[in-house]
A and B are shown apart, each in its own frame.
Chain A
């Protein structure tokens, strides 16, 4: 959060994929010795589904973090989105598109609010999005005693359970969203401006970037991605669920996936490709621990260590670059 120097805006594809390969190989071996198989159809499908849910949120989180901001409200946006989608659909296929439209509109609105609080309101992103998250939590707690609404059967059949070979449709959608974001970051003016704002807002402003507009856009895109995650979860769960986002820890886990993927928390460096790697790494750890039936508590310790270690490795690289 403190070294805000102008390092190269992009870096080679992060080492997270090396870590992913190593985790996978070790996991495969250990599970094999234990008498199981890590690579089979049902495990792979499950892994990719878990990755898809977190993936949408994490891709959005990448955008705000690249811009030097942060979004702690995503978990509640996810919950709210499942409810807006499922309640609008009310089990009718005919309401599918309007419901998705409304969900994305609502989530974009929350993103706009976050963005305006951070820019025009001059509230630190940590506090602003924490506050908006509390607001949404209050609304959900007060309005819902449990799951509500029914997802349209067509959406459940497609986005929720359809797959191409071992790859769920939802994961393909995640790759598409990530691809679009990659393109936006690498090839469009918005992307260059976002990285510049995240690198050094003052310098960006002096070079003519409309920093507020860029950062608000990033927040809107982030919430939109959380909204897509909500639609996907509604398709998986068959209804809206007021606690699915907070129980899923999508706020902290998305930030973890982003930093494991090599994006600097201070902003300005990193990208969505690494984030996808981070999401897959977290999902792979899940899969291995599932196969070995090890306590979730041990897994949490492993996750904590991996998060710190991964970022320490990136920081080494950066320090060396600065020194050289």
Chain B
């Protein structure tokens, strides 16, 4: 113990005589948030009223851009000038990816690769580095990419606050940086691309379920994991909707994305309360398992929300569920490639680039349900016009 402290002291001395640094100039701002309970009662530390209001307003906004290409559309765009990044092609585009560890990211990444292929000669090389869901590795990855002659850098951050310093360091090299999916706490990237976001997702599902379930009924909320920012925003928006509608939320449980665990939880809640009148989920991964739990118990499936994964859409149609599927569209993986090339052309791009976030409803269900695609494929991939469809996604 003494030794470790001594070692630490020695290093503190060493730091006084530094020679070179990769440290970004600005200190990460807004990185702090107070710890708060993640239980049913308290609002999540991630909840921001202004962002919530803005996202709900965007749900009503009309996008600009080609209607049949939602990945090129933008909601309320504010254009920024990119003439200073203009460069002759072909280009080397680099991508620091947070992870490939779930079907959503898999489908998205395949879509991105197909978009690269669709751009043909314009992209000489597409360099992809994956951080396996590790902040520490992604910070190192971004630093690594800075030494590899990239013409543009795309980042899909693993965590907002903790990746901010690394993205700032990348901006300072003069490289055009494009961030998508999760954001960072800095304005230095040329643009930040994402769909409307978690509040919109959580709100759409919660509003539907609370309107359709019987008044005064019991609702079970199934979440994947605590402490993941995009999922926290979904839950916090749902909580606002449930509080407003006076819904009796009898449980908020974490499933770890494990279908077996989900079925056990639903089973026990059914036994404990006799009936459950509504189910809200923060992601579609285990929606089918939740539906099956009701079916296996011989109970009617209550109003429920899922996501645009095909296994859920299929069960929805076959069992005639009262359901809705808000989406976090995977077509957003196409946009960063398109944005990078526009920036390297010196053309204007939207910043932030807010993509529309369609919802699958009873009315348009048939349009999205393609029985030929694999069960965990996401209907909102916007990939049907891309090279290699459908084989690449199968």
Contact = CB atoms under 8 A, between A and B. Distances in A.
Given A233-B136, A247-B135, A147 B21 contact: no
A222 to B, nearest CB: 11
Contact of B136 (A140, A149, A236): A236
B67 interface: no
A238 B148 contact: no
Contacts of A162: 15, 18, 20-21, 23
Given A91-B32, A145-B45, A159-B15, 10 more contacts: A42-B146, A141-B38, A141-B226, A147-B160, A157-B21, A173-B14, A184-B3, A237-B162, A239-B162, A296-B130
- Name the 10 nearest CB pairs between A and B, nearest first: A42-B147, A161-B23, A237-B162, A158-B15, A46-B140, A147-B161, A46-B144, A180-B3, A238-B28, A239-B31
Contacts of B14: 169, 172-173
Interface in A196-238: 217, 220-221, 224-225, 228, 233, 236-238
Contact of A248 (B39, B128, B134): B134
Contacts of B254: 141
A145 B46 contact: yes
A46 B143 contact: yes
Contact of A177 (B4, B45, B46, B143): B4
Nearest to A249: B134
A180 B5 CA distance: 10
Interface in A215-273: 217, 220-221, 224-225, 228, 233, 236-239, 241-244, 247-249
Contact of B35 (A144, A158, A221, A295): A144
A150 B3 CA distance: 28
Contacts of B137: 50, 248, 286
A293 B130 CA distance: 8
Given A43-B144, A148-B35, A169-B14, A239 B7 contact: no
Interface stretch (B54-62, B227-235, B288-296, B322-330): B227-235
Contact of A157 (B6, B23, B38): B23
Given A43-B144, A290-B129, A145 B135 contact: no
Contacts of B6: 180
Contact of A146 (B4, B20, B229): B229
B4 A145 contact: no
A46 B38 CA distance: 35
A296 B227 contact: no
Given A43-B144, A145-B45, A247-B133, A242 B227 contact: yes
A143 B148 contact: no
Contacts of B146: 42
Given A146-B232, A239-B161, A45 B22 contact: yes
Contact of B23 (A146, A156, A217, A247): A156
Interface in B1-21: 1, 3-8, 10-11, 14-15, 18-21
Given A145-B232, A161-B21, A243 B227 contact: yes
Contacts of B31: 147, 149-150, 238-239
Given A42-B147, A146-B227, A147-B159, A221 B32 contact: no
A179 B160 CA distance: 36
A181 B6 CA distance: 12
Interface residues of A, number: 73
Given A141-B226, A158-B15, A177 B7 contact: yes
A235 B8 CA distance: 14
A248 B27 contact: no
Contact of B1 (A143, A224, A242): A224
Given A238-B28, A243-B227, A164 B19 contact: yes
27 contacts: A42-B146, A50-B140, A141-B226, A144-B45, A144-B227, A145-B38, A145-B227, A145-B232, A146-B33, A147-B159, A148-B33, A148-B45, A149-B31, A149-B32, A156-B165, A157-B21, A158-B18, A161-B22, A161-B165, A162-B20, A163-B22, A172-B14, A228-B8, A237-B159, A248-B137, A290-B129, A295-B130
B165 A238 contact: yes
A244 B5 CA distance: 24
Contacts of A296: 100, 130, 132
A142 interface: yes
A104 interface: yes
B37 interface: yes
B226 to A, nearest CB: 5
A176 interface: yes
Contacts of A184: 3
A164 to B, nearest CB: 5
Nearest to B2: A180
B147 A40 contact: yes
B139 interface: yes
Given A50-B140, A144-B227, A296-B130, A164 B165 contact: no
A85 interface: no
Contact of A173 (B11, B139, B162): B11
Contacts of A45: 22, 140, 143
A284 interface: no
A42 B8 CA distance: 26
